[in-house]
């Protein structure tokens, strides 16, 4: 049985919605302290109301794409407020369905900012020895099955997620001597506002229409959160630099 102490503090980005929200609630339920980051203040407040241990759920409203170069200093400021971190679940992200004909640099940059540049620079802040606990520290990044597969119109999104997987592997090697672990998870279709609002509206696809691709249907946020929390915990202390596909039995 996985459990944490309130002395173990985890940054969770994207905590206001979907997968990140589920990770924040589960970590909190299992005893950890959570520094929950998101842009939407109302949804963050809702997260705290839902938390099993609200006294260990700390809310930080932050647009991670606003000053990406400043993110290492931002992590330091969080350390000064809350203490050294036991890790991070980087769950913030956006999608973007852009066929090449409509693509321009501004659109590419918007998706890379939050899906690739921000997690790398948050990590730069977190791996600073002054900001983490050293051995036992673990980071998990939500990449996507689109890092491995090809979907029409998803060239940029796929690029951000494949880039993240590759970079996290390399960084895992850099930080192993500090006792820090890092891994990626690569989900396929999960029922969150991202898919239900954006993907379904743009493509007209429903869960039923995709039963031939996803034998177990679309996933719930908890299906991904369980894996992330395992990888953050000491139960995974032998695992680093890996990419875990969570794909409803699509079997690539
Ligand atoms: N859902 C899926 O099927 C699926 C599949 C594979 C991978 N993923 C990946 O899983 C991650 C989470 O997606 P989700 O499905 O949970 O989506 P979601 O429900 O739309 O949540 C996205 C989260 O990212 C945050 N966010 C977006 N832009 C941000 C910014 N500039 N600064 C700070 N926070 C920002 C949002 O914050 P606010 O709400 O506060 O704006 C929200 O908390 C993403 O990286 C996505 O690519 C999702």
- Ligand 1 pocket, Cβ-based, cut-off 6 angstroms: 14, 16-20, 38-40, 43, 63-65, 91-95, 114, 142, 144, 187, 189-190, 192-195
Residue 179: left (phi > 0), alpha (psi -120 to 50), or beta? left
Which residues are paired to 186 by β-bridges?
A: 245
Asked, for residue 225, whether it belongs to a domain, the answer is yes
Looking at per-residue pLDDT, the higher value among 196 and 14 belongs to: 14
* H/E run at residue 198: none
243, 183 contact by CB (below 8 A): yes
- The answer, yes or no, to whether residue 202 has pLDDT greater than 80, is no
Token digits for 189? 């279709």
Q: Tokens representing 216?
A: 């177990």
The CATH number covering residue 180 comes to 3.40.50.720
Query: ∠ CA 92-18-51 to the nearest 5 degrees?
Result: 105
The pLDDT tens digits for 23-38 are 999 999 999 999 999 9
- pLDDT of res. 7: 98
pLDDT of 235 strictly over 80: yes
Mean pLDDT of 154-180: 97
Percent residues over pLDDT 70 in the chain? 100
Which domain covers residue 70, as residue numbers? 9-246
Residue 15 inside a domain? The answer is yes
Residue 4, pLDDT > 80, answer yes
CA distance 156 to 175: 28
Q: What is the mean pLDDT of residues 187-201?
A: 85
4 lies in a domain? no
**Averaged pLDDT for residues 190-209:** 80
Average pLDDT over residues 8-20: 98
Q: Which residues contact 132 (CB under 8 A, 6 or more apart)?
A: 84, 85, 86, 87, 126, 178, 180
Q: Judge whether residue 188 has pLDDT over 80.
A: yes
pLDDT of 170 reads 98
Q: How far apart are the first and last CA of the chain?
A: 31
- Report if residue 1 sits inside a domain: no
What mean pLDDT, rounded, does the chain reach?
95
Q: Which of 11, 19, 60, 165 to mutate to test the pocket of ligand 1 (most atoms within 8 A of CB)?
A: 19
Residue 177 C-alpha to ligand 1 middle, in angstroms?
31
The number of CA neighbours under 13 Å toward the Cβ of 26 is: 22
- If one counts the domains in the chain, the total is 1
pLDDT of residue 200: 73
Q: What confidence tens digit (pLDDT) does each residue in 97-154 have? A: 899 999 999 999 999 999 999 999 999 999 999 999 999 999 999 999 999 998 888 9
- The Å distance, Cα 87 to ligand 1 centre, comes to 19
> pLDDT class for 187, splitting at 50, 70, 90?
very high
- pLDDT(251) > 80: no
pLDDT score for 229: 98
Nearest to 160 by CA among 225, 114, 100, 228: 114
pLDDT at 151: 84
**Who's near 216: CB < 8 A, 6+ residues apart?**
248, 249
What's the order of all strands across the beta sheet hosting 181-187? 57-61, 33-38, 9-13, 87-90, 138-142, 181-187, 243-246
Q: Which of 15, 18, 78, 216 to mutate to test the pocket of ligand 1 (most atoms within 8 A of CB)?
A: 18
Is residue 251 in a domain?
no
> What residue has token string 């032998």?
238
Query: Does some domain include residue 75?
Result: yes
232 located within any domain: yes
> Is residue 213 included in any domain, yes or no?
yes
pLDDT for residue 206: 79
Tokens of 227: 């894996």
């Amino acid at each position: 049985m996985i459990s944490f102490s309130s002395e173990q503090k985890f940054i969770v980005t994207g905590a206001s919605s979907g997968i990140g929200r589920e990770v924040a609630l589960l970590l909190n339920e299992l005893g950890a302290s959570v520094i929950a980051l998101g842009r939407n203040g109302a949804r963050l407040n809702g997260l705290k109301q839902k938390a099993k241990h609200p006294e260990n759920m700390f809310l930080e409203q932050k647009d991670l794409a606003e000053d990406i170069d400043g993110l290492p200093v931002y992590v330091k400021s969080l350390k000064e407020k809350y203490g050294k971190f036991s890790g991070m679940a980087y769950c913030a992200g956006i999608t973007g369905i852009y066929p090449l004909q409509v693509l321009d640099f501004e659109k590419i940059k918007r998706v890379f900012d939050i899906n690739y540049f921000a997690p790398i620079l948050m990590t730069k802040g977190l791996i600073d020895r002054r900001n983490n606990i050293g051995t036992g520290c673990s980071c998990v990044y939500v990449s996507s099955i689109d890092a491995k597969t090809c979907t029409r119109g998803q060239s940029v999104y796929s690029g951000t997620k494949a880039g993240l997987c590759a970079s996290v592997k390399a960084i895992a090697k850099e930080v192993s001597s500090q006792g820090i672990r890092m891994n990626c998870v690569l989900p396929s279709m999960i029922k969150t506002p991202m898919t239900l609002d954006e993907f379904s509206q743009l493509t007209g696809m429903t869960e039923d229409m995709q039963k031939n691709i996803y034998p177990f249907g679309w996933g719930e946020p908890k299906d991904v959160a369980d894996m992330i929390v395992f990888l953050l915990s000491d139960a995974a202390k032998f695992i680093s630099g890996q990419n875990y596909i969570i794909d409803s039995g699509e079997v690539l």
